[in-house]
């Protein structure tokens, strides 16, 4: 086991005071285990834990974790678009934009989930983001309970909001196939009281495929499906489960017609639950097929064979990650922070 020393470098700090300084802060329910709440805002103490020499080929030994911005309530769903990182602050109902060289993140879209907060919604904002081949923004909207697309003129087009006539719970994350199919997860995290919400119409939390305007249910057997990704050859579908009882990455064989088979546990994080805050959440894959998944204490890097190579430790519950720039810079949304790490690989599709 090799652990590099503290490797965090500050960039200019977001100068808006953190609105929760000096008061206790409630972390997102369902996603995170309960632990003591501090009166002061979190502190980023990042380092890289190296468990296998193979990690050096994709994450350089001198890699640094750089803090780009801070002061958010729960940052999520980053995507690189038009020379900037877009990411969600889910409870604040905002999509932020951060550009390299700028001192702070700017509001890109508010409300991002399509509605203002109500007592029925715990987190009304957008969550997972992606961009389609025409460079249009795709977003999972908790408040509107749908997957939508923002057109070039700024209007929003709903792509999927129901399955067999019943409204989704709160679509969480999505992955885009080369042929335009959208795979997405639908846990109940946006709804107040989750599975017990009176607004919940589906009796399960599903994984779906949207193709040609038609929604197909791929599985209803996962308790809390969350992050989702495709292997580079698109023959395997990966789904994270953010359940403290079953903190697994599941894998499925993906057929050419979009159906799945051979469900299996690809990686089990049970033994890592006490190493730091967080559960399996966002998930991305690089061009070599390695998985970069958020989990306990940061971003775990896992080989295509299921071997844990190392962890980018943020010390924070960590929501998601995505590549940007030339495709080799990994941007990470970690609680109230946006950070980045230079890698020696690129994201799948770059």
- Print the domain residue range for 314: 2-342
Burial 204-227 (b: 16+ CB within 10 A, else e): bbbbbbbeeeebbebbeebbbbbb
CA dist 92 and 125 (Å) reads 7
Q: Give the model's pLDDT for residue 130.
A: 98
pLDDT tens profile 120-173: 888 999 999 999 999 999 999 999 999 999 999 999 999 999 999 999 999 999
DSSP 116: -
With vertex at residue 303, the alpha carbon angle to CA 55 and CA 32, rounded to the nearest 5 degrees, is 95
Distance from CA of residue 24 to its chain's centroid?
Answer: 25
**pLDDT on residue 34:** 39
176 vs 184: CA distance, rounded Å: 9
Domain membership of residue 350 (yes or no) is no
Q: Is there a domain that residue 134 lies in?
A: yes
| 8, 45 Cβ separation under 8 angstroms | yes
Q: Report if residue 348 sits inside a domain.
A: no
Contact (Cβ atoms closer than 8 angstroms) between residue 174 and residue 184:
yes
161 domain-assigned: yes
In total, how many domains does the chain have? 1
The answer as to whether 310 is a domain residue is yes
Domain membership flag for residue 347:
no
| Confidence band of 103 (pLDDT split at 50, 70, 90) | confident
Q: Between vectors from CA 74 to CA 69 and to CA 75, what angle results, nearest 5°?
A: 50
Query: Residue 241 maps to which CATH number?
Result: 2.120.10.30
In whole angstroms, what is the distance from residue 192 CA to residue 50 CA?
39
Q: What is the pLDDT of residues 73-98, one digit of tens each?
A: 999 999 999 999 999 999 999 999 99
260-268 and 283-285 beta bridge pairing: unpaired
pLDDT band at 117 (very low <50, low <70, confident <90, very high): low
What is the largest distance, in Å, between two alpha-carbon atoms of the chain?
Answer: 53
Looking at residue 42, its pLDDT comes to: 75
The C-alpha angle with vertex 287 and arms to 286 and 293, in degrees rounded to 5, equals 15
Q: Which are the contacts of 142, defined by CB distance < 8 A and separation ≥ 6?
A: 90, 113, 121, 123, 124, 125, 126, 127, 170, 171, 172, 189, 190
Looking at residue 91, what is its pLDDT? Answer: 94
- Is residue 170, in this structure, part of any structural domain at all? yes
Res 308 pLDDT > 80: yes
| Residue at 115 is within a domain | yes
Q: What is the mean pLDDT of residues 223-245?
A: 98
């Amino acid at each position: 086991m090799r652990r590099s020393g503290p490797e965090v470098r500050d960039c200019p700090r977001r100068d808006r005071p953190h609105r929760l300084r000096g008061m206790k802060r409630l972390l997102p329910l369902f996603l995170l285990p309960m632990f003591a709440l501090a009166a002061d805002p979190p502190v980023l103490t990042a380092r890289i834990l190296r468990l296998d020499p193979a990690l050096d080929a994709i994450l350089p030994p001198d890699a640094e974790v750089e803090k780009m911005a801070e002061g958010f309530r729960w940052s999520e769903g980053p995507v690189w678009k038009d020379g900037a990182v877009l990411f969600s602050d889910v409870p604040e109902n905002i999509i932020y934009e951060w550009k390299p060289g700028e001192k702070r993140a700017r509001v890109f879209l508010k409300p991002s989930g399509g509605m203002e907060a109500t007592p029925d919604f715990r987190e009304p904002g957008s969550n997972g983001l992606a961009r389609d081949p025409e460079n249009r923004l795709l977003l999972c909207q908790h408040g509107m309970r749908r997957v939508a697309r923002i057109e070039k003129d700024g209007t929003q087009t709903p792509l999927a909001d129901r399955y067999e006539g019943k409204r989704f719970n709160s679509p969480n994350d999505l992955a885009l196939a080369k042929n335009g199919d959208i795979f997405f997860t639908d846990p109940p995290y946006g709804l107040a009281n989750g599975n017990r919400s009176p607004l919940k119409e589906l009796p399960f939390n599903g994984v779906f495929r949207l193709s040609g305007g038609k929604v197909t249910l791929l599985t209803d057997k996962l308790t809390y499906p969350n992050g989702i990704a495709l292997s580079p050859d698109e023959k395997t579908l990966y789904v994270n489960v953010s359940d403290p009882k079953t903190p697994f990455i599941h894998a499925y064989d993906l057929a050419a017609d979009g159906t799945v088979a051979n469900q299996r546990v690809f990686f089990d994080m049970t033994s890592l639950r006490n190493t730091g805050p967080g559960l399996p959440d966002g998930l991305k894959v690089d061009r070599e097929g390695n998985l970069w998944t958020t989990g306990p204490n940061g971003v775990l890097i896992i080989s295509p064979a299921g071997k844990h190579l190392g962890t980018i430790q943020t010390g924070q519950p960590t929501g998601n990650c995505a590549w940007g720039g030339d495709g080799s810079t990994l941007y990470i949304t970690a609680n109230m922070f946006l950070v980045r790490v230079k890698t020696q690989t690129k994201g799948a599709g770059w």
